[in-house]
């Protein structure tokens, strides 16, 4: 019997980061990027789900 997983494809997620200094904000942005690209998000990363591409922009 197949097991189905709820997935999201083609979506966009945004994270707005604000810090006391530019160094803190940059450090946090780098850690967040590492987390979503290398560790993934969610419970099924071992099956290949939950990894994201990061496109950074500064406002």
- Tokens 């780098």, located at residue: 30
Domain total of the chain: 1
Asked, for residue 57, whether it belongs to a domain, the answer is no
Q: What is the pLDDT of residue 32?
A: 94
Asked, for residue 6, whether it belongs to a domain, the answer is no
Q: What is the pLDDT of residue 57?
A: 86
Parent domain of 37: 17-47
Q: What is the pLDDT of residue 25?
A: 94
Asked, for residue 5, whether it belongs to a domain, the answer is no
Task: Write out residues in the chain with pLDDT < 50, as ranges.
Answer: none
Asked, for residue 11, whether it belongs to a domain, the answer is no
Asked, for residue 21, whether it belongs to a domain, the answer is yes
53/59 Cα distance (integer angstroms)? 19
Q: Are 18 and 8 within 8 A, CB to CB?
A: no
Asked, for residue 12, whether it belongs to a domain, the answer is no
């Amino acid at each position: 019997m197949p097991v189905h997983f709820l997935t999201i494809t083609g979506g966009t997620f945004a994270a707005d980061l604000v810090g006391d200094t530019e160094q803190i904000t940059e450090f946090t942005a780098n850690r967040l990027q590492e987390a979503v690209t290398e560790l993934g998000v969610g419970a099924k990363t071992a099956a290949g789900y939950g990894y994201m591409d990061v496109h950074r922009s500064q406002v």
